[in-house]
Structure 1
Amino acid sequence: MNPALREALAAAAPDLERHCRDPWTVIGSAAAALAGAEVSVADLDVLTSVRDAEVLIALWHDRRYAAYLPVTGAGRFRSRFARFRFPGLPLELMGGLELHGPQGWQPVRVRATVRADCGGIAVPIPAPAEQVRLLQDFARPKDLQRAALLAAVHSPDR
């Protein structure tokens, strides 16, 4: 287990559990790593509702990178976004994440989750097949690479 990821989750998960009224989910490289894929994890991506994002942004205001704007995927993604300083890894919060595709803006919906153990913390992540679907929908080169790694790890042939 990635020690930096474990440290960030240990710091963030109690607030997420305590203050989120709606389901929250770890996505991106952190979720792929928690599902067993050999990926590098540069930050902790957390998907929440817009309402919960507003609560967390207020709660974590002193940790926020005030001027940070995501570069990759600009124009393809929108959300109530904020990036925060946490021990181990930065945390990127995406409230009400939407993806722009052929049908215009569509909400990103996680249809199936599982709990992954991270140093004794039960972390909600998309089920592996669901992660593959989401990453393929995101369609950036790094997402497609993660999708392939996850599919290989969770192949029925293994």
Structure 2
Amino acid sequence: MTSSYASGPTPALVAACAKLASAMAGAHDRWWIIGSAAVALHGADAGNVRDVYVLLSRRDAEVICAKHVIPIEPHTPHPLFRSAVFARWTGMPLTIELMADLEVAASAGWQRLAPATRQQFTTAAGSIYVPDRQELAAILRRFGREKDIVRAAALDRA
């Protein structure tokens, strides 16, 4: 399914997504934008979008980071999330955070986050992808943080 931007994205988000689309054009594996940026792309009230979270494969993360000289950060323990590769691409209107093989803490232990749906949005520089609205809301609820629950509710209302 191909869509143009909904009413939610700011000019900074549009610019960051275009840069991301260009960088990810040669990706080997499926990838998605999640979090507040994805909520805004769906046209829902995401609140203040400060960065763009990208789920991608380890292989694609390593290629993108090498090509664009994005430093891979050392693993920092977090009680809710962990990823095989984590990198912050700065110097753009919004920081892009690359997370390869993201896992989320659950009562049964760490579980990999692998969206099943993939909705395409078109930018001036190519395509970007987000989980569909329903799956994105479920992902946000799975994260369980207050800001994520609020954004999931905004998706439900939009």
Scaled by the length of structure 2, what TM-score is found? 0.85
Specify which of 37, 40, 52 is matched with residue 44 of structure 1.
52
Q: Distance in 2 between matches of 1:99 and 1:44?
A: 18
Show structure 2 runs of 5+ residues with no match: 1-8
- Structure 1 partner of 2:65: 57
Match of 2:143 among 134, 138, 148: 138
Tell me whether 1:16 sits opposite 2:24 in the alignment.
Answer: yes
CA contact (8 A) 1:8 1:86 kept: no
Conserved 8 A contact 1:25-1:46: yes
Q: Which residue of 1 aligns with 2:119?
A: 114
CA distance in 2, matches of 1:50, 1:65: 11
Structure 1: any 5+ residue segments left out of the alignment?
154-158
- Report if aligned partners of 2:33, 2:53 keep a CA contact under 8 Å in 1: yes
Deviation at 1:100, TM superposition (A): 1.1
1:98-125 deviations in whole A, cap 9, x for unaligned? 0110110110010111112445743210
Q: Pairwise CA RMSD of aligned residues?
A: 2.1
Q: Which has the higher helix share?
A: 1
Cα deviation for residue 90 of structure 1 reads 0.6
> What is the identity percentage for the equivalent residue pairs of Structure 1 and Structure 2?
36
Q: Is the 8 A contact 1:65 1:85 kept in 2?
A: no
Matched, 1:104 2:112: no
- How many pairs does the alignment contain? 148
1:26 is matched by which residue type in structure 2?
Answer: I
Stretch of structure 1 that moved more, 118-127 or 101-110: 118-127
Counterpart Cα distance in 2 of 1:11 and 1:27: 16
Superposed displacement of residue 149, structure 1 = 0.5
1:150 aligned residue: 155
* AA partner of residue 81 (structure 1): F
Residue number in structure 1 paired with 2:78: 74
Aligned partners of 1:116 and 1:13: how far apart in 2? 10
Q: 2:50 and 2:66 mapped to 1: Cα distance?
A: 24
Provide runs of 4+ in structure 1 moved above 6 Å: none
2:64 is paired with a residue whose SS is helix
The answer (yes or no) to whether the contact 2:88–2:98 under 8 Å persists in 1 is yes
